[in-house]
Amino acid sequence: MSATPPPRVLSDEGPATAAPSPAPLYPSTPDPSTPDPIALAAAGSGRSVVLFDGVCALCVGSVTFIIDRDPEGRFAFASLQGGAADALRSAYPVPADLDTICLIEDGTLYTRSTAALRVARRLRGPWSLLYGFIVVPRPIRDLVYGFVARNRYRWFGQHDVCRLPAPGVAQRLLDVD
């Protein structure tokens, strides 16, 4: 995975502008209003953290899809390119060069098709039925997943901007100040 610049911010009020230089996400004196991604992902927390490719249009669209079908707020999200993912890498075996979906649920790391299916089983509506594909052997599932993942930029494009989250959603995005 090549290094990508941080996304710019697109506001509903105006054109895209370069995001200001962010303050350190995890300062030495913790801000009590900043969710701790390691605590969120811990066993028994009742919440799960989805790590996603923040420049991939398919991945960002998937996050929006999940948020719309998870009104209970069981999932929090962190871009693989952000500081929250870096913090999670220190506590979980998330490879630095990984550019696929990861789910940290109940203190366990899941990747690729297993992560996607475990997310689907907790969504409202018929989407939870997709979890039935977990019976397909993982190498076969991951082969299909890998085909889509390798072509995702070509088919869906990349973002260099991202919308500001709606109120009530921002606290679920771990890299938003």
Q: Are 37 and 63 in contact (CB under 8 A)?
A: no
pLDDT of 76 higher than 50:
yes
Q: Are 38 and 88 in contact (CB under 8 A)?
A: yes
Indicate the range of 40-44, 85-89, 139-143 predicted with least confidence. 40-44
pLDDT of 6 higher than 80:
no
Q: Are 63 and 52 in contact (CB under 8 A)?
A: yes
pLDDT of 89 higher than 60:
yes
Structure tokens at 71: 């009104």
Higher pLDDT, 91 or 145: 145
Cα gap 126→158, rounded to integer Å? 29
pLDDT of 15 higher than 90:
no
Q: Are 161 and 9 in contact (CB under 8 A)?
A: yes
Sign of torsion, CA 71 23 57 116?
negative
Report the percentage of the chain scoring pLDDT > 70: 66
Mean per-residue pLDDT over the chain, rounded: 76
Residue 136: what pLDDT? 97
pLDDT of 153 higher than 60:
yes
Stretch 111-120: mean pLDDT: 95
Q: Are 62 and 127 in contact (CB under 8 A)?
A: no
Inter-CA distances, 27 with 21, 39, 83, 84, Å: 15, 16, 11, 12
Indicate the range of 32-36, 66-70, 73-77, 104-108 predicted with least confidence. 32-36
Residue 51: what pLDDT? 92
Indicate the range of 6-15, 47-56, 75-84, 87-96 predicted with least confidence. 6-15
Stretch 38-67: mean pLDDT: 82
Stretch 117-142: mean pLDDT: 95
Cα gap 29→98, rounded to integer Å? 29
